[in-house]
């Protein structure tokens, strides 16, 4: 039986490019359209055995690119109503400018 998410690439089995799949194929695999922050949160919950408290306490800030987003929010967002995110973004930009000036 063929698996819709797999293909043969250079003679070896590999995952298909989701950009080349239909929504129906993705839905058939159990993937529904969702905001990226929710997808990240779901991955973090999976990573922590479904324990929300463990996601909150995750210490992998220096090794996991998902870490800033694990609480289902974007701390870098400049959207109105997120002053902490705006401050974080300003601080990050200042650090980037300082690094590039060296």
Cα separation, 92 vs 102, in Å, equals 16
Q: Which is nearer to ligand SF4, 22 or 65 (CB)?
A: 65
CB of 31 to ligand SF4, least distance (A): 18
Q: Which is nearer to ligand SF4, 27 or 60 (CB)?
A: 60
**Residue of 41, 99, 91 whose CA lies nearest to 68:** 41
86: contact with ligand SF4 by CB under 6 A: no
Using left for φ > 0, alpha for ψ between -120 and 50, and beta otherwise, residue 11 falls in left
CB of 71 to ligand SF4, least distance (A): 10
Cα separation, 77 vs 89, in Å, equals 7
Task: Find tokens 């479904």 and name the residue.
Answer: 50
Cα separation, 6 vs 16, in Å, equals 5
Taking residues 39 to 78 in sequence order and writing x for each that binds ligand SF4 by CB under 6 A, - otherwise, the string is ----xx--xx------x--x-x---x-xx--x--------
Q: Which residues bind ligand SF4 (CB under 6 A)?
A: 43-44, 47-48, 55, 58, 60, 64, 66-67, 70
């Amino acid at each position: 039986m063929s698996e819709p998410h797999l293909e043969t690439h250079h003679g070896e089995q590999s995952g298909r490019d989701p950009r080349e799949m239909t929504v129906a194929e993705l839905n058939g695999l159990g993937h529904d359209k969702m905001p990226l922050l929710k997808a990240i949160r779901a991955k973090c919950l999976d990573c922590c055995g479904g324990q929300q408290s463990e996601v909150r306490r995750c210490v992998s800030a220096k090794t996991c690119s998902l870490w800033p987003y694990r609480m289902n929010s974007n701390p870098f967002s400049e959207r109105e109503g997120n002053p902490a995110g705006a401050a974080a973004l300003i601080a990050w930009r200042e650090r980037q400018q300082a690094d590039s000036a060296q």
